[in-house]
A and B are shown apart, each in its own frame.
Chain A
């Protein structure tokens, strides 16, 4: 799986959009970008994933650059409950496989009132 690079920490004001970057310059054509988050000591929570098109769901939007070497997770209206560690993971789609998620160090996002 391709390596990802994320800033160790970020701050964002409550109510503003939080934009979390992720670099994955060695991503290959069949690898997806996944985002999970972990609120303090809770189990990680799936947020969103994508291959090359931008994706949006009820939690967030995922913007993937055209060359797919980087992506941005956008939380459109951050709340205090969005304070968490956010993990960007790149991997081949599982499809009947035994593949595991490999979590790096992630970005610690703090939402400030």
Chain B
């Protein structure tokens, strides 16, 4: 089944404790992206990648890192999480020459 998976789905952590949210897709998509969703602010793009080893900042990249060592994986790294990064995070992917994005199920992160 074609899908985007994220892990973990839920995470509660404390300020400053490094964490990684994994994202994987099995559709051979070149483009992958991370969004965060907050009440009243909608979905905002954090980082995106157009292919292996090619990443770029979205609208709200501060406090986040990403890497794209393999085509299928696009982990989101929070080196020193802070409470303002408490949010619902979505990973998405698509083929470069299409507009249809496939979203993962989401990761609900709480930083205390």
Contact = CB atoms under 8 A, between A and B. Distances in A.
Interface string B69-112: 00000000000000000001010100011111111111010000
A93 interface: yes
Interface residues of B, number: 26
A100 B45 CA distance: 7
B83 to A, nearest CB: 20
Given A41-B108, A94-B97, A105-B42, A100 B33 contact: yes
Nearest to A99: B99
B66 interface: no
B94 to A, nearest CB: 8
B62 interface: no
Q: How large is the interface on A (under 10, 10 to 19, 20 to 34, 35 or more residues)?
A: 20 to 34
B85 to A, nearest CB: 17
B99 A43 contact: no
A46 B50 CA distance: 20
B104 A43 contact: yes
B21 interface: no
Contacts of B31: 98
Given A49-B99, A94-B97, A95-B97, A41 B45 contact: no
Interface in B22-76: 31, 33, 42-43, 45, 48, 50, 56, 58-59
A100 B42 contact: no
Interface of A: 32, 34, 41-46, 49, 91, 93-96, 98, 100-101, 103-105
